Amino acid sequence: MEGLLICPKFVLPKRNTMKHNRIYWLLVLMFINSCKSHYAPLSQEEIKYHNDSGFVNAPSSGVIYEVLLIGDTGRPAIPLDREKYPDEYPDVVFSSLVNHSKTNNNKGIDNVILLLGDNIYKNGLKRGGIGKNRSKLILQTQVDWLNQTKSDAFFIPGNHDYKFILGSPAHNRMKRQAKYLNEKEDNVFLAPDVVAKEWYQIKTINQKGKEVGLVLFDSQAFLNWGRKSEKERTFESLQKEVMNRSDIQTWILATHHPIFSADEHGEKTGGFAKSQHVNGGKNYKEFATRLKSLIDGMSVEDKQIVVVSGHDHSLQLLKGKNYYQVVSGAGVKVSHEKLNCGKLIFGQQNKGYAVLSIYEQNEIWIQFYGAFTAREGDFLLFSKKLF
């Protein structure tokens, strides 16, 4: 259970001696210290790091466009939290990402921000009752951060946004979130159109003559509600649209659930994820198979394909057969699972975000940034040329 702290029950020693009291209180302090919240930030000494490919700094010039990736942001610090924890509130990641975007704006480099699902923990945007105002405030806090930039920002749905609660159908929670975001006169949107029950949306980005295709996919809808015929029609339609844009060389597929992962929700040996959050592993395996089949159909020698996801609370770069998988789901909390997958190039369990940089020379680079506290700001964890 997320965020639940279970600590041992202590029994006072029968002998009330100074020696026994010292031992007792020492044990109390040790156990309290061991019961850290699941959302507590890791110190630099606690970082789990995996890197078997070498760190290479990206070129300092020639960037024409960037895609900023942050996921699982649904528990940002709201004002009361920020007052209680002034230096370690989770907004430090948002602050770093927004500053990165504003720096790009000042340099004349356009960028788009993708929020990769689980936008409101733990049960989506509530209609009423306990938690209604807090769930709205959680979403509005993110909107306020994003409105500080000149960049468009797209939220995609995650499993917590669709969370089913008795008496409140899951789809209604997602529709409320879409209405809240899309009716605002700002640069923040939710995609695809969940009100119309669309499962994907394609956008194209054109910068200095280079076009980039962006697919925003609602993986949770596919996993939970799609009939077999509906799933087939969706992927046939998506494949047709993508193939009709054979002129686009670079494609970014954004989906909350990764095809595979080295963290908690992934198969440790690589291959298909086996999440138990979405009707067991069967639907997830079908989703991953169909997405890989779509990529196989897109792939020719000159195609550049990157799948970007959240869901797992870590930062990862993995290599598929003909694409890269980026996991950036560490917006406000981190996993403590051991990262283990043969396809893992880079993995770190620390709050942060990722950046895909597109260069004039047709190169694409990935960079991961970590963030600890407001005082320290962010710092570059890893950098690699993908194409």
CA distances from 346 to 48, 115, 128, 331, 333 (A): 11, 21, 42, 17, 18
Range(s) of the chain covered by CATH 3.60.21.10: 41-385
Per-residue confidence (pLDDT) for residue 53, from 0 to 100: 52
Q: What confidence tens digit (pLDDT) does each residue in 155-205 have?
A: 999 988 887 554 455 677 778 888 888 887 678 998 998 888 889 999 999
Higher pLDDT, 49 or 224: 224
Q: Which fold has domain 41-385?
A: Purple Acid Phosphatase; chain A, domain 2 (3.60.21)
Residue 243, CA atoms < 13 Å, CB-side half-sphere: 12
Q: Which long-range contacts (CB under 8 A, 24 or more apart) does 231-239 make?
A: 231/286, 231/290, 234/199, 234/200, 235/290, 235/293, 235/294, 238/200, 238/202, 238/294, 239/294, 239/297, 239/298
The pair of structure tokens assigned to 103 is 């720096």
Query: Is the per-residue pLDDT at 51 higher than 90?
Result: no
Per-residue confidence (pLDDT) for residue 127, from 0 to 100: 67
Q: Calculate the average pLDDT of the chain.
A: 78
Per-residue confidence (pLDDT) for residue 24, from 0 to 100: 53
Q: What is the mean pLDDT of residues 286-307?
A: 89
Per-residue confidence (pLDDT) for residue 120, from 0 to 100: 85
Q: What confidence tens digit (pLDDT) does each residue in 64-89 have?
A: 999 999 998 887 665 555 555 554 45
Q: What confidence tens digit (pLDDT) does each residue in 274-285 have?
A: 444 444 467 888
Query: Is the per-residue pLDDT at 90 higher than 70?
Result: no
Higher pLDDT, 242 or 53: 242
Per-residue confidence (pLDDT) for residue 141, from 0 to 100: 86
Query: Is the per-residue pLDDT at 37 higher than 50?
Result: no
pLDDT band at 129 (very low <50, low <70, confident <90, very high): low
